Amino acid sequence: MTLLNELTANEALAQLKGKQISARALTDAYLARTDARDADVGAWIYMNPDHARAQADALDASLAAGTPPGPLHGLPVGLKDILDTADMPTENGSKLFAGRRPATDSTIAKLLRDAGAVIMGKTVTTEFALSAPGKTKNPHDLTRTPGGSSQGSAAGVADYQMALSVGSQTGGSMIRPASFCGIYGYKPTFGTISRAGMCPLARPLDHPGVYGRTLADLALIADVLMVSDPADLDMRANPGAGLSKTLARPLSKAPRIAFVKGPMWVAAEPCMDDLFKSVLDTLGPDAHEVEMTGVFDGALDCQTMVMMPNVIANIGDYVENSPELVHPETIRRTKDCFNILASDYVKAIEMKDSITAAVHRMFQHADVIITASAPGEAPVGLESTGNAIFQKIWTLVGAPSITLPKLTGPNGMPIGVQVIGRPGYDADTFRNAAYIDSIL
């Protein structure tokens, strides 16, 4: 018998809307799992069971009174602790913000509440969503990292402590944790989910994203969040992509699939060549390896050069003025970046445009790109969250990317297949991902 907290979000939603289960019963199932496991996994930084139950009870009462259920009615969700919530702390993973209580909800929190979600609590993030790790461990092997910076959000979904969760990616913080923890993760096109009320790290690169246990679960929550918001100055005019409806219309023929290694493959573990040879063999004649050279040779350095001056602009004062309250890893990451020249930053912004144009040209000959979601299995040890190298280019150009938990490494740990789409074509990316998901 499937436990309630082991249902997919869509399965649970159908039972909630059909009154086969209550929001309170579902929330209690997730709270029981949290009570049993989170002392080991450490996905939550803030959790108030009574508050979660009160939200669920209110939803049950509303449904009993005849109010139509929302698109996320009764589903327990975790929020990365960089997203403001008026009814619980938001500490940005830092001692500097200990006990901080925002006055208002972030746009993401408001949209989730309006859709009927139960916001269970706040999930662990690295400090300021950079790289200084929190307490979270990989639920598949507690000696290994869950990745970062969205470590609690990924580990919590993987360990059945929440149905869905929200994280963010500035370098590799959505896709890598999903790969390490063996779940589905989605970083949408830049500017499609509002960042209003989210702790900024690097405005040109910050992407909110979502986690779930199926592609359909990702689509379910993303459809709620991909709403235009004038409070985020980088929002696309029409961010909604109708992802759930898109998944209901499968492809009529196989897409053209380009497998790329690119400059990031230098970090790939020895097992990755054989694993992805098997992936290509399984996908068949419509999948071909394509070289990423030329302008892409400098893409990884370009991402760093765009990111770090923005990081200094947003958290540099904390590092300089309150170093005793800042994690040593945050200080290490930033110490050499205070003197970056403005001319070098401008050159990086211009190179970013060239790299983005080159990515668009790749889609003249391919419908979708695939590569690894991470260098390999989650590394042993909790001092580092792993290498973000396999996400950097796609974050730089704002392309949608999805990781599919389809591979297993030599130590039995999960490894994801990353599916990348053309920027702005998230619906197509989901349809192509669904095809690849079904084949693999």
Q: Which amino acid is at 183?
A: I
Phi, psi of 348 (to 5 degrees): -65, -40
Element (H, E) at 216: helix 215-225
201 with 249: CB under 8 angstroms? no
- Alpha carbon 265 to chain centroid distance? 21
Backbone angles phi, psi at 257, to 5 degrees: -110, 125
The DSSP bridge partners found for residue 198 are: 83
Amino acid making up residue 233: L
> Distance between CA atoms of 368 and 255, rounded to whole angstroms?
7
Helix, strand, coil distribution of the chain in percent, nearest 5: 45, 15, 40
Q: Which residues are catalytic?
A: 80, 149, 173
> Is there a cis peptide before residue 149, judged by omega within 30 degrees of 0?
yes
The strands making up 184-187's β-sheet, listed across from edge to edge, are 44-47, 118-123, 76-80, 164-169, 207-212, 184-187, 401-408, 414-420, 368-372, 257-259, 287-289
CA-based radius of gyration for the chain: 20
Residue 369: name the closest of 203, 256, 214 by CA. Answer: 256
3-state secondary structure of 209: strand
DSSP 3-state of 370: strand
Is the Cβ–Cβ distance between 211 and 245 less than 8 Å? no
Instruction: Identify how many contiguous H helices and E strands the chain contains and give both numbers.
Output: 14, 11
What is the rounded CA–CA span in Å between residue 225 and residue 115? 10
DSSP per-residue string spanning 401-426: EEEEEEEE-TTS-EEEEEEE--TT-H
CB 376 within 8 A of CB 383: no
- One-letter identity of residue 425: Y
Closest by CA position to 259, among listed 244, 275, 247: 275
